[in-house]
Structure 1
Amino acid sequence: MRMTLSVRDGACGPAAKQRSLCALVAVALAMPMHGHAQEPTHSDHGTQTVAASDDDSAGAKDHDSMDHGKIDHGKMDHSQMEGMDHGEMDHSQMEGMGHGEMDQSKMDQGQMKSMNHDMKDMQGGSAPPGARSPDYSDGVGSGPMHGMHHMHGESVLTSVLIDHLEAFHGDEENGQAINARAWVGSDLNKLWFKLEGERSDGQLGEARSELLWNHAISAYWGLQTGVRHDFGDGPDRNWAAFGFQGLAPYWFEIDATAYVGESGRTAFRLEAEYELLLTQRSILQPDLEMNFYGEDDPARGVGAGLSDLEFGLRLRYEFTRKFAPYLGVVWSRKFGKTADYAREDDEEAEDTGLVAGVRLWF
């Protein structure tokens, strides 16, 4: 800001010499005063702001034209850079910085090793003897669960179940009956043996045996294929067997098998049973058995279609899972030609009897 002083002629006098001296004083007083600047007034503030903006713009242009490669950053006093906000710096513009061009061969490797050693000491140093391995494996390699190979269906197991070993007393006849099954194999594949028959009046009645290969297709179901042999009352019959067995919804055990025999004979057998727990040891077991045949077989007393049906209801008490005596009642009926063949032999087509026996599991 400049101060202007108006000097009147009368102040210096009329003399010519004095006029010259007064002119010099006026010029000196009109020069800018840098020693003591006056405080800006409020009206001058807007003018100063515009001037400062112009100066900043000019400074920015000059900064862009600077050759940063010639600046010795080592001599810069970084402690004075208190106002710099590194978070607002545009690092994407730092194209000249190539970390890949750093000469790492000149780095002091000894200092780096010392640094690593210091870091190791900070973490506790070397592990004590007998400490757990860093990956917590304890020397066990990757793969199937250690010690759990028996759960992958590889081990061979066996089971023998005598479901019914009983004596029966009916309207027409008395005797003994057996229904047993056994298997050997793994969870995926088993070899089954099934036996069912009865004895009455000292003679062997109808009986059958099956040898089947069972392959699991799900957690509760398996496909079966094999052979069946009928013996006892009448001539022997051999069959090829194809079927499935498993556990249906609501815990019904199902065994369904189709058979193809000699001379084009066909048959189908369906068994279903259920176990109702009255208590932890008292169990009521209903079971149903049905037999169908494709054609008549007078030699064995069976007719085509639905041949016979049997329904039993047994109540057992399990002293252990392997030993359980029971009492029950069994109702049976023959149909169609099978009933006719029975009447020709002076037998009833329908019979109801009491049974008593034991269930064994090995």
Structure 2
Amino acid sequence: MDHGMMDDAASASPGPDMETPPPPEAGSGPPRAADAIWGADAMRASREDLQRTHGDFPVFWFQGDRFETQVRGGADGYLWDLQGYYGGPTSRFWFKSEGEGTFGEQIEDAEVQALYARAIAPFWDLQAGVRQDLGGPDTTHAVIGVQGLSPYQFEVDGALFLSQRGDLTARIEGEVDQRITQRLILQPRAEVNLSAQDIPRLGIGSGIDSVEVGVRLRYEFIREFAPYIGIEQSWRLGGSADYARARGEDPSVTNYLVGIRFWF
């Protein structure tokens, strides 16, 4: 061992157990002691600059979480799932859009959401706003929900929707990234839709309306751009399955997926 390294090791701090503890009066002073000396008005600009330096400034973020072609028995389809926000670390404006359809036909389902979000805990936002359905019957919903990161890195998005006709529905989504390598990522995902009542005009039955379970394998050429492949199984249940059969649709569908995930 080099003698210089031995000297450095000998002179190093012995560690937290042997450090001199802080004096009892440490931290007992006023939280903004400089105000008492210079005045609150004089310190306000410095305090605001410190807040901006440590992250309290607006940021724009946009992500195409799912942008894919769905290959299935019968007619192939497409799906988009976009979201983004503008704002600071504790309050933001969120916008979301989801939709799907079959190639060569009109869009089956499409929606746009505009939400105000406020942080209620580390990694969790409370969201409230409106949702407008663009495919099918014209429907506007009031929205309240939560979105955030649960233990074990599960991304969770749950919301309640109350339409202008008084119909109450809910949606819960969850996904998690499992890194195989630094660039190859496996993402299991699940979604459950529920309804408090039958909604014949939308083909929705009371209880659990639909369940989707899938997995996507993506490769990040760069962090902001990642093509993926995957497979997803969806089921319409209960009264929703009856509505689907009445329209000549299969309530159980397997989709093979090819898409891209991007953000900026």
Instruction: Give the TM-score normalised by structure 2.
Output: 0.79
Cα offsets for 1:293-348 (capped at 9, x unmatched)? 11111111111110001112000000111110110001100001110111011110
Partner SS, residue 186 of structure 2? strand
> CA separation in 1, counterparts of 2:48 and 2:199?
58
Partner SS, residue 70 of structure 2? strand
The answer on 1:221 being equivalent to 2:124 is yes
The answer on 1:320 being equivalent to 2:222 is yes
One-letter amino acid of the structure 1 residue matched with residue 248 of structure 2: D
Question: Displacement of 1:289 after TM fit?
Answer: 0.8
Counterpart for residue 85 of structure 2: 183
Matches within 5 A, 1:263-278: 263-278=165-180
Question: Displacement of 1:259 after TM fit?
Answer: 1.5
Counterpart for residue 192 of structure 2: 290
Counterpart for residue 57 of structure 2: 155
Question: Displacement of 1:231 after TM fit?
Answer: 2.3
Counterpart for residue 205 of structure 2: 303
Do the aligned partners of residues 145 and 280 (structure 1) sit closer, same or farther apart at CA in structure 2, a change above 3 Å counting? farther
**8 Å contact kept, 1:302–1:337:** yes
Indicate the RMSD between aligned Cα atoms, in angstroms: 1.9
Question: Displacement of 1:260 after TM fit?
Answer: 1.4
Cα offsets for 1:211-264 (capped at 9, x unmatched)? 1111011221110000111221x2121110111111101111111111111232
Pairing partner for 1:210 from 88, 94, 113: 113
Question: Displacement of 1:353 after TM fit?
Answer: 1.4
Matches within 5 A, 1:1-362: 148-202=50-104, 203-232=106-135, 234-362=136-264
> CA separation in 1, counterparts of 2:44 and 2:199?
62
> CA separation in 2, counterparts of 1:214 and 1:195?
16
**8 Å contact kept, 1:172–1:351:** no
Cα offsets for 1:91-115 (capped at 9, x unmatched)? xxxxxxxxxxxxxxxxxxxxxxxxx
Question: Displacement of 1:153 after TM fit?
Answer: 4.6
**8 Å contact kept, 2:78–2:103:** no
One-letter amino acid of the structure 2 residue matched with residue 229 of structure 1: Q
Counterpart for residue 58 of structure 1: none
One-letter amino acid of the structure 1 residue matched with residue 58 of structure 2: V
Q: Which runs of 5+ in 2 are unaligned?
A: 1-42
Counterpart for residue 91 of structure 1: none
> CA separation in 1, counterparts of 2:89 and 2:165?
36
**8 Å contact kept, 2:146–2:159:** yes
Give the percent of matched residue pairs that are identical in Structure 1 and Structure 2: 38
One-letter amino acid of the structure 2 residue matched with residue 228 of structure 1: R
Question: Which of the two has greater helix per residue?
Answer: 1
Instruction: Give the TM-score normalised by structure 1.
Output: 0.59
Cα offsets for 1:141-179 (capped at 9, x unmatched)? 798679643245531110010011111101233111101
Cα offsets for 1:185-213 (capped at 9, x unmatched)? 11111101101101203220112211111
Rg (Cα) greater in structure: 1
Q: Which runs of 5+ in 1 are unaligned?
A: 1-140
